[in-house]
Structure 1
Amino acid sequence: MKALKKIRRMKMMAQGGRCYYCGLPMWDDGIAPVAQAHSRSGLLPRMLRCTAEHLQPRSEGGANTAENIVAACLYCNNSRHRKKHPLSPAAHRAHVRHRMASGRWLATQIGISIQEAR
């Protein structure tokens, strides 16, 4: 198993299987039963796939180390890096949590209530 994959799995387990940013349950190597139960489309399983999120991007000198990586769902990981000047990890997490609380993040787009997500 490659080092990055090992770190990603280790971080996912340490985070209780939930995304660092939004807190939704993620899956790795197959669709988790919770994802299947909540899926109303093929979007949920794909967007909640666990990814290795570099807190300091590799493009800025970030390393593939456990200290620099957290487990994040594909949706949150992509949304952070979609901007020309990405927010810091802490600022992005606050942004995501605020949008989750107001019903304007992935959970509402795929039909999961905030209570189900927790």
Structure 2
Amino acid sequence: MRNISKIKHAKFSLQNGLCFYCRQPMWRRNHERFAEQYAISLNQARYFQATAEHLVARSDGGLDVAENIVAACWYCNNHRHRAKQALSPDRYARKVVARLRRGKWHGFLAQSTPFHQSS
């Protein structure tokens, strides 16, 4: 588990603190400060906690290695795995960006902070 935490922190830095899927800012240590910075509630801030997201799930044989882990906000990570069959990382990212544009994702932050569009 310690290795996953180190990878998550490294990916968080490499991704400039932005979620791999929704490209929204995330927090690692202080959700109170994050909530204040973005003028959102503490409950809303919890959605943006940085998590270690396995691109290929461990249950599908994915390994705990840097090439298979990205930093993703709790909301995106949690919702990707709710489907009967998780979408591929690329398809899921496209779905998330499309939903953000329509205000159908965790849009309370997207409204105050423009997200980076995926290429």
TM-score w.r.t. the length of structure 1 is 0.88
Q: Distance in 2 between matches of 1:41 and 1:34?
A: 9
Match of 1:12 in 2: 12
Counterpart-to-counterpart distance in 1, 2:23 and 2:32: 15
Cα–Cα, structure 1 residues 52 and 111, in superposed 2: closer, same or farther, change >3 Å?
closer
Q: What residue is the counterpart of 2:99 in the other structure?
A: 99
User: Unpaired segments of 5 or more residues in structure 1?
Assistant: none
Match of 1:83 in 2: 83
* 1:116 alignment partner, one of 86, 100, 113: 113
Q: Which string of whole-angstrom CA distances, capped at 9 and with x for unpartnered residues, describes residues 9-63 of structure 1?
A: 0000000000000011000122274442224322222110000000000000100
CA RMSD in angstroms comes to: 1.8
- SS at structure 2 position matched to 1:71: strand
Give the SS at the match of 1:67.
Answer: helix
Report the equivalent of 2:49: 49
Identity %, equivalent residues = 41
The unaligned stretches of length 5 or more in structure 2 are none
Native 8 Å contact 1:26 1:73 kept in 2: yes
How far the C-alpha of 1:102 sits from its partner, in A, is: 1.4
Q: How high is the TM-score relative to the length of structure 2?
A: 0.87
SS of residue paired to 2:100: helix
Number of equivalent positions: 115
Once the 2 structures are TM-superposed, how far is the Cα of residue 3 of structure 1 from its aligned partner?
Answer: 0.7
Are the equivalent residues in 2 in contact too, given 1:7–1:69 (CA < 8 A)?
yes
Amino acid aligned to 2:92: H
